Amino acid sequence: MKQRRIKPISYYIKGIQEENRFILGEAITLVESDHSEKRLLARDLVDYFSTKAPKNSLRLAITGPPGAGKSTFINALGKNLVSKDQKIAVLAIDPSSVKTKGSILGDKTRMYDLSLLEKAFVRPSPNSSYLGGVNRRTKESITLCEAAGFRNIIIETVGVGQSEFEVADISDLTILIMQPGSGDDLQGIKRGIMEMADIFVINKADAEQKSMAIQARQFLMESQKYLPGKNSSTKADNIFLCSSLHHTGIDEIVNHIQTLVQKLIENGQLEKNRDEQELKWFAKNLDEAILHKIYNEPNLVKLKEELVGHIVSRKRSGPKAIDLFIHVLSSKLTE
């Protein structure tokens, strides 16, 4: 198949500045591409907009167990924000799309209503396992969405593996979505995420599940007493019940999010958090880039394999093998 010509950067810049959702989608595809020429173009594009990034945006991470209703909740939350004349972009990182090679219909359909609205942009992305993890490109996509005038950026991740921790590093607030169930279900949620979440939402508080949801809230309030908070605020104020399907309880959550964000802005914490995130991101990605560069050097790869052999055959100790590797690396750097 003939390769399509790559569009010039001016096409993307203009499209994004004009808040064109179609071109924003194309630009995110560029960011997600592994094609080297497209990667370079994507970097230039993100770099162009990074220096002009607006400060008045909200980056909201939505995480929780599979099937808890994250997408349905985002659909309801998004419609609520749009009804208040706000623009919202959703980046849904979908781990299942790796297995099914891009079957992301589920998320698209659950957020179908929202994606039809002019002030909304819904983008499901496969969670591919490239170097740098999922948040590297998600972060770039956030920059582009903000440049295209979206001031509310919502990132959906399923609470498996490290994704929920990674997503917290690129967002201002984290909402944990849970579904009613016994206390055992709640205990199954990793402690780390419990400590990290800013807002807890027990979804599906409707019909026969309502009483279970109320019990779950009670259980959560009890368990919160023993957790150190991310912020020193009382966690009980941050626990909500809602039905995303029937749009009940959503308004209270939106108001609460806005109050928390306002506080973060006023006390300078939002900006401070973002600065810290930038530095953390830089350090992590620089380390990864350096390792990637080193292990792309055939001689060093060979040397590493030889040293592994030496260690296994007890010909050399681990520390000595490291000394030798560093010695060869240093001489290569000064070449």
Distance, CA of 153 to CA of 60 (rounded, Å): 6
Per the listing, tokens 């930038």 go with 278
User: CB 246 → ligand GTP: shortest distance, Å?
Assistant: 7
Which CB sits closer to ligand GTP, 15 or 69?
69
- Among candidates 105, 113, 115, 172, which has minimal Cα distance to 142? 172
Which CB sits closer to ligand GTP, 72 or 215?
72
Which CB sits closer to ligand GTP, 152 or 203?
203
**Among Mg ion, ligand GTP, none, residue 244 binds (CB under 5-8 Å by kind):** ligand GTP
210 is written with which tokens? 């309502």
**Among Mg ion, ligand GTP, none, residue 21 binds (CB under 5-8 Å by kind):** none
Contact predicate 153/91, CB 8 Å: yes
Residue nearest to Mg ion (CB): 71
User: CB 79 → ligand GTP: shortest distance, Å?
Assistant: 14
User: CB 29 → ligand GTP: shortest distance, Å?
Assistant: 21
Instruction: Give the DSSP H or E segment for 198.
Output: none
**Among Mg ion, ligand GTP, none, residue 198 binds (CB under 5-8 Å by kind):** none
**Among Mg ion, ligand GTP, none, residue 217 binds (CB under 5-8 Å by kind):** none
User: CB 248 → ligand GTP: shortest distance, Å?
Assistant: 8
Compute φ and ψ for 99, nearest 5 degrees.
-65, -45
Residues of this chain that bind ligand GTP (CB under 6 A): 64, 66-72, 106, 110, 158, 203-204, 206, 243-245
Which CB sits closer to Mg ion, 16 or 111?
111
**Among Mg ion, ligand GTP, none, residue 206 binds (CB under 5-8 Å by kind):** ligand GTP
Which CB sits closer to ligand GTP, 45 or 189?
189
Distance, CA of 332 to CA of 335 (rounded, Å): 5
Please, what is the angle between helix 70-83 and helix 250-266, to 10°?
A: 70
Residues of this chain that bind Mg ion (CB under 5 A): 70-71, 107
- Among candidates 230, 134, 122, 108, which has minimal Cα distance to 176? 230
Sequence-distant (≥ 6) Cβ neighbours of residue 200 within 8 angstroms: 175, 176, 178, 220, 235, 238, 239, 240
Which CB sits closer to Mg ion, 70 or 204?
70
User: CB 178 → ligand GTP: shortest distance, Å?
Assistant: 10
> Rg (Cα) of the chain, in Å, rounded?
23
User: CB 203 → ligand GTP: shortest distance, Å?
Assistant: 5
Which CB sits closer to Mg ion, 32 or 107?
107
Per the listing, tokens 């419609």 go with 79
Residue nearest to ligand GTP (CB): 69
Which CB sits closer to ligand GTP, 41 or 189?
189
- Among candidates 245, 151, 147, 238, which has minimal Cα distance to 196? 238
**Among Mg ion, ligand GTP, none, residue 133 binds (CB under 5-8 Å by kind):** none
Strands (E), the chain: 58-64, 88-94, 120-126, 152-158, 173-178, 199-202, 239-241
Sequence-distant (≥ 6) Cβ neighbours of residue 80 within 8 angstroms: 247, 250, 251, 254
**Among Mg ion, ligand GTP, none, residue 238 binds (CB under 5-8 Å by kind):** none
**Among Mg ion, ligand GTP, none, residue 72 binds (CB under 5-8 Å by kind):** ligand GTP
